[in-house]
């Protein structure tokens, strides 16, 4: 019998890529997604699609899955600041539901946590041994703290029921299929969109805050290895790059690579925007024999080409 994978949030950017990987490996896929942060259904027709919030998908408790991946989340700061309670729901009630499904199925449970669990870190690149610096009641807490809580919940299932739990913390993954319009406000698609349309690139604050970005193919590779590596049961892993870049340099690089005449404007800083973030992925390198293969420039080039082509195709 073929294996089956349940993916919450499978209609989103990361979900769509892991679906492709699963189908390539002849694994059947069920997606549960309420389309709250995506525009329309985009999963392939051979995928079973359940359109509802995972919190309400009780019927899945009676089904049997080999892998349960909880990706459903609202990871964009611009979005979760507007929807704090719904952001929390997918992390607490949603995670609980997915864990119960995994427990009853004896499945491997993979939780897509976030580098945001580190808040505004004092140690960069950040290893998993650093426990973070998060304001428990600040504007970003609806995301950061509920993600931290989800990790605690997953570990509680592991301790109480022996559920096979694996927790990854992706660092700013980007690439084709990321939502490209202004709704989400993630920096790479937004800057590329602004550069291609000749609009000013909106750098929040002085632009000296840093991030490290990971191209989606490297994320898929790490996630697949994480799901299948027997020694990775129970692990918590950073999945990211240590190639740290300031937001202002990212803006300049995108202007150069697109050949755009756009200018840079400074907009008010985001409240509690972490000042620095880059991954120490030594643990994933060792445990999964994985490392990022795609440089920032290469990934940006591919994402620019994709967005350019999409704009050409969608021109009215
Ligand atoms: N950012 C920016 N201009 C934008 C969108 C984002 O300067 O139009 C900055 C943001 O302040 C942050 C970084 O880019 O420092 C990454 O933001 P994003 O929302 O992509 O992800 P985060 O890492 O903050 O979750």
pLDDT, tens digit, for every residue of 216-245? 999 999 999 999 999 999 999 999 999 999
Angle between helices 296-313 and 247-258 (to 10 degrees): 50
**Protein residues with CB under 6 Å of any ligand 1 atom:** 76-77, 172, 185-187, 190, 202-204, 209, 211, 247, 270, 273
Quick one: which atom of ligand 1 is closest to the CA of 201?
8
Q: Which sign does the torsion angle of CA 255, 258, 261, 266 carry?
A: negative
132 C-alpha to ligand 1 centroid (Å): 19
- Residue 107 burial class via C-beta count within 10 angstroms: exposed 0-12, middle 13-18, buried 19 and up: buried
Structural domain containing residue 31: 4-173+214-241+278-293
How far apart (Å, rounded) are the C-alpha atoms in residues 264 and 24?
Answer: 42
pLDDT at 179 over 90: no
Tokens of 47: 């995928």
151: domain CATH number?
A: 3.40.50.720
Least confident piece of the model among 39-43, 51-55, 56-60: 39-43
* Rg value, the chain, Cα: 19
How far apart (Å, rounded) are the C-alpha atoms in residues 69 and 90?
Answer: 13
Q: What is the mean pLDDT of residues 9-35?
A: 96
Query: How far is C-alpha 202 from the chain's CA centre?
Result: 22
pLDDT at 182 over 70: no
pLDDT classification of 79: cutoffs 50, 70, 90: confident
pLDDT at 148 over 80: yes
How far apart (Å, rounded) are the C-alpha atoms in residues 316 and 314?
Answer: 6
Whether 57 is in a domain gets the answer yes
Least confident piece of the model among 39-43, 64-68, 113-117, 189-193: 39-43
CB of 274 within 8 A of CB of 209? yes
> Which of these, 37, 40, 30, lies nearest to 68 by C-alpha position?
30
Quick one: which atom of ligand 1 is closest to the CA of 186?
20
Q: What is the mean pLDDT of residues 251-261?
A: 98
Q: What is the mean pLDDT of residues 276-303?
A: 98
Whether 187 is in a domain gets the answer no
More confident residue, 22 or 42: 22
What percent of the chain lies above the pLDDT cut of 90?
Answer: 89
Which residue has the least CA distance to atom 4 on ligand 1?
A: 187
Q: Structurally, how many domains does the chain consist of?
A: 1
Whether 194 is in a domain gets the answer no
Global pTM reads: 0.96
- DSSP state letters, 50-98: E-S-GGG-GGGGGS--SEEEE------HHHHHH-HHHHHHHHTHHHHHH
Whether 70 is in a domain gets the answer yes
Mean pLDDT for all residues in the chain: 95
Count of residues in the chain: 316
pLDDT at 284 over 70: yes
- pLDDT computed for residue 314 by the predictor: 76
Q: What is the mean pLDDT of residues 110-128?
A: 97
Output the CA angle 211-216-220, nearest 5 degrees.
125
Quick one: which atom of ligand 1 is closest to the CA of 190?
8
pLDDT at 183 over 70: no
Q: What is the mean pLDDT of residues 89-96?
A: 93
Reply yes or no on whether 161 is catalytic.
no
């Amino acid at each position: 019998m073929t294996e089956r994978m349940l993916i919450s949030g499978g209609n989103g950017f990361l979900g769509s890529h892991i679906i492709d990987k699963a189908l390539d490996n002849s694994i059947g896929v069920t997606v549960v997604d309420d389309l709250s942060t995506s525009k329309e259904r985009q999963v392939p027709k051979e995928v079973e699609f359940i359109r509802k919030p995972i919190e309400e998908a009780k019927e899945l408790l009676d089904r049997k899955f080999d892998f349960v991946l909880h990706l459903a989340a609202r990871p964009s700061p611009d979005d979760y600041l507007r929807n704090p309670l719904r952001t929390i729901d997918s992390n607490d009630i949603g995670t609980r539901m997915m864990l119960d499904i995994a427990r009853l199925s004896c499945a491997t449970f993979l939780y897509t946590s976030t580098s945001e669990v580190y808040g505004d870190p004092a140690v960069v690149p950040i290893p998993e041994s650093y426990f973070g610096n998060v304001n428990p009641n600040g504007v970003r807490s609806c995301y950061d703290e509920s993600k931290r809580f989800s990790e605690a919940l997953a570990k509680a299932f592991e301790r109480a029921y022996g559920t096979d739990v694996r927790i990854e913390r992706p660092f700013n993954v980007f690439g084709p299929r990321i939502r490209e319009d202004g709704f989400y406000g993630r920096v790479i698609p937004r800057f590329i969109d602004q550069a291609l349309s000749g609009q000013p690139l909106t750098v929040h604050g002085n632009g000296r805050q840093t991030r490290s970005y990971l191209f989606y193919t490297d994320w898929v590779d790490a996630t697949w290895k994480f799901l299948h590596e027997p020694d990775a049961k129970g692990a918590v892993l950073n999945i990211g790059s240590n190639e740290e870049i300031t937001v202002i340099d990212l803006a300049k690089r995108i202007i150069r690579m697109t050949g755009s005449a756009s200018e840079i404007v400074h907009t008010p800083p985001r409240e509690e925007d972490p000042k620095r973030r880059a991954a120490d992925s030594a643990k994933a390198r060792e445990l999964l024999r994985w490392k990022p293969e795609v440089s920032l420039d290469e990934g940006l080039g591919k994402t620019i080409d994709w967005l350019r082509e999409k704009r050409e195709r969608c021109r009215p």
